[in-house]
A and B are shown apart, each in its own frame.
Chain A
Amino acid sequence: MKRRTLLRWVAAGTAAVPLRPLRLLAQPRELTPEAVSLLHEIAPTVLPSALGRDRTRAVVDRFVVWTRNYEEGVALAHGYGHPRLQKSGPTPARRYIEQLAALDREARGRGARWSALDREQQRAILDAAFAEAGVRNLPPRPAGQHVVADLMALYFRSSDANDDCYRAQIGRETCRAIPVTLRKPDPLER
């Protein structure tokens, strides 16, 4: 085969690559700077004020990393008793970006940025957004249904939040020596 023929074949092959993979390649795999900025603005509404500015920012940063490190098509826990194979779906990044933009539009439709709305206005917007996304309960972990519910899940389902709730150093998901667990957990110092 002549080199030119080969190049023509390669060119034709490239043109014939189905659009779907290309679209997938174009899917955002992480939150845009604008989306992250909006999430930082919304976070103090939905996370406890006791976290303070730094811990609240850290929760959002962890959520950004969570989104970035999401893997598609990975087998999820099969379960025991009635096992079934389920795989992780597409990255929720695009949906998250759209949902954050929608929250921003809703806020501006009421004449202000998110942070300038009062608590009941924020609640009404989120209530409607959760209903539209089908979020009824706090997910056990971020699940891709709604970005704000998932941000809340990331914190409230965490070992840190468990410690905050009980005001005790339980460290549910941390590596601990067994003797640490034998006494009443020490009070939380934060």
Chain B
Amino acid sequence: MATHETDVLVIGGGITSAMLAQKLSELRPNAHITVVEAGRSIFDVQNRGRYRQRALDYGEHPWRDDYIEDQQADGIISMTMAVGGLALHWGGACNRFSEEDLRLKSLYGLAADWPIEWTELERYYCEAERRLNVAGEPSPHVEDRRSQPYPQQPIPLSYNLQVLKRWAEQSGIRFVGLPMARNLTPHDGRGACCVYDTCGEVCPTGARYSPDFTFRQLAQPKKIALHDRTLVRRLVLDGRRDLVVAAQGFHQDRPDDPIDYRAKTFVIASGYCWSSHLLLLSANDRFPNGLANRSGLVGRYMNGHRFINATAAIDEQTFPGQNMTHSLISREFFRCRPDGPFVRHDTRVWESSSGRDPRLRSAEGKLLLGDEVMVDWRARAKGSAVRLRAYVDVHPSADSRLTLNAAKKNRYGDPMPRIEHRFDAPTIAREAATSEHVLGVFNRLARASNGRIVNTSQGDYLDHPGGGCRMGSDPAASVCDSYGRTHDHENLFVVGAPTTPTGGCTNGTLTFVALTLRSAEQIASGVGARG
């Protein structure tokens, strides 16, 4: 068995891991920091233009071999397992939660409060925005006040979004451009945005932040050790004390030769799915339900937000394809009165060509050929389609769970995770009223410019999922404290998405990063400089 000794072992190689490793390497430049990631490194930015083109031409996945076929979960939202994680192909949306997210219990008697003050978290939002180089426009709502400006000017609104903003604001609801981790000018080894419009798949210039850049910047000058293609299968406790002493893993090329990672501090930064999974897999005689699980809450309260979509048709003309991955956002419904019905959601507006794309048959079913296709398309392209979406605040029950699925195992015989989301009773009770409210907002938006809602739908999964290791001050009701330090093991931390008690009502990544940057200081404080 090979042994690797380090001061801090970070398990997982996604965006929170990248931010944690970066900050730890700054705070403790002499400490040995090792990041272990099950998937491979894809550090070939020079090929991204070609990958993008093949994705457009052939529908190919632009991140080759970014998954491990036998390391997949039921109920997971992405197959990606690689250095960079899901943020290899995120859209770059960097919305903050609001103070209400942290005070749901005290303000509304719902779900749980987060064990952290908003003013403190806000400082880390600023830091996260700086590290991700967010381009953003401040919210017009005073409750959304910021202590520092965005590091970049807002992404200028395309002509289409200017049209749609004028249209949408006739409802009296205020919109701004979506804050995004997208370089307007070259920054930090990454290029400027060239509106390739494939942010959610691959950005050829690297303008949209992705963690592979950070890992390369840290690993090449050996600020950290990056061990990719190495799956950590379990954590091992000291014989007598409740301290983690080792993480046992296997490199993909050496499945018969385990690696023992010995560290003073262990940090699980494996996202909402694999963090709980590792703790559950690490069960032993003293912790038969899994490590950090005296509360029985590891893998519970899995969260995220529901989403409701609509397409509006309006008379004003836009030109689909100008900047389809940028959007407008309203935070008008981030907060509601404590004495009124509880409904919280963001509201997003995109340019769209939905229902106006070229088609092969007329409405009567006649096969269209050549000029007929173009004539039909042009007739339907008059006016505009507008894509609308609301992320809705819903709260998990304790039965919203990640469990080990004995029927599905990886090559080592480890059961894979199964995630099944469940809502708490108040969420279920208000479901119809929430949908009615959101559709009312969409209809209110649509009224201008002879607008009408032409279709609506509801997402059938929860987006920006989190939970499974929720934070709290009561060890009986939570897995870790506000810094992610597990209540049961002094030297074991969980960071990012798994620690969130609730999933908010807007994109979660910035919040996951902000929480992690706060954790980083606590983790660093326990790491002495190496002599």
Contacts and interface: CB of A to CB of B under 8 A. Distances in A.
Interface of A: 44-50, 66, 69-71, 74-78, 80-85, 88, 119, 122-123, 126-127, 130, 135-138, 140-141, 149, 152, 156-157, 159, 161-162, 164-166, 168, 170-173, 175-185
B453 interface: no
A126 B162 CA distance: 43
A122 B367 CA distance: 11
Interface of B: 55-62, 64-65, 67, 69, 76-80, 89, 155-159, 162, 184, 193-197, 200-201, 204, 319-324, 353, 357-361, 367, 369-371, 373-374, 377-378, 381, 459-461, 463
28 contacts: A46-B369, A48-B373, A49-B371, A69-B57, A71-B58, A74-B58, A75-B67, A76-B58, A77-B55, A81-B77, A88-B60, A123-B369, A127-B367, A130-B367, A137-B361, A141-B56, A162-B320, A162-B353, A165-B358, A165-B381, A170-B320, A170-B322, A175-B194, A178-B156, A178-B184, A181-B158, A183-B159, A185-B159
A15 to B, nearest CB: 34
B514 to A, nearest CB: 23
The interface residues of chain B, by DSSP majority, are classed as loop
A80 B195 contact: no
A135 B360 contact: yes
Given A141-B56, A170-B319, A122 B64 contact: no
A48 B361 CA distance: 15
A141 B58 CA distance: 7
Given A123-B367, A141-B58, 18 more contacts: A48-B370, A48-B373, A74-B64, A76-B60, A81-B77, A82-B77, A83-B78, A88-B58, A141-B59, A149-B360, A162-B320, A162-B353, A165-B381, A166-B320, A172-B321, A172-B322, A178-B193, A183-B159
A105 B466 CA distance: 59
A42 to B, nearest CB: 10
A177 B194 contact: yes
B311 to A, nearest CB: 17
Given A75-B64, A85-B67, A175 B196 contact: yes
B367 A168 contact: no
A159 B197 CA distance: 12
* Across the A-B interface, the 3 shortest Cβ-Cβ residue pairs: A172-B321, A156-B358, A181-B158
B196 A178 contact: no
A122 B369 CA distance: 9
Contact of B371 (A48, A122, A149, A159): A48
Given A50-B374, A161-B358, A83 B76 contact: yes
A185 B319 contact: yes
Contact of B79 (A85, A156, A171): A85
A46 B323 CA distance: 30
A138 B77 contact: no
Contacts of B201: 77
B158 A166 contact: no
A136 B365 CA distance: 10
Contacts of B463: 81
Contact of B374 (A81, A137, A165): A165
Given A170-B319, A182-B159, A75 B60 contact: yes
A71 B53 CA distance: 13
A75 B61 contact: yes
Contacts of A181: 156, 158-159, 195, 322-323
A126 B371 contact: no
B370 A45 contact: yes
A133 to B, nearest CB: 12
Contact of A172 (B320, B358, B370): B320
Contact of A156 (B58, B77, B80, B373): B373
Nearest to B367: A127
A138 B56 contact: no
B359 to A, nearest CB: 6
A66 B59 CA distance: 12
Given A184-B159, A185-B159, A77 B321 contact: no
A76 B77 contact: no
Contacts of A119: 369
B177 to A, nearest CB: 12
Contacts of B323: 178, 181
Contacts of A81: 77, 459-461, 463
A140 B461 CA distance: 24
B321 A178 contact: no
Contact of A182 (B59, B69, B156, B373): B156
A85 B319 contact: no
Contacts of A161: 358
B319 A70 contact: no
B422 to A, nearest CB: 18
B45 to A, nearest CB: 15
Contact of B194 (A50, A78, A135, A176): A176
B136 to A, nearest CB: 15
A83 B79 CA distance: 6
A80 B79 CA distance: 8
Contacts of B371: 48-50
Contact of A175 (B195, B357, B358, B367): B195
Nearest to A167: B378
A49 B79 CA distance: 44
Contact of B80 (A47, A78, A84, A164): A78
A140 B274 CA distance: 34
A137 B360 contact: yes
B56 A173 contact: yes
Contacts of B381: 165-166
A140 B79 CA distance: 23
A138 B78 contact: no
A51 B261 CA distance: 63
Contacts of A182: 156-159, 162
Nearest to B356: A165
A168 B370 contact: no
Nearest to A51: B370
A43 to B, nearest CB: 9
A123 B80 CA distance: 44
A181 B159 CA distance: 6
Contacts of A141: 56-59
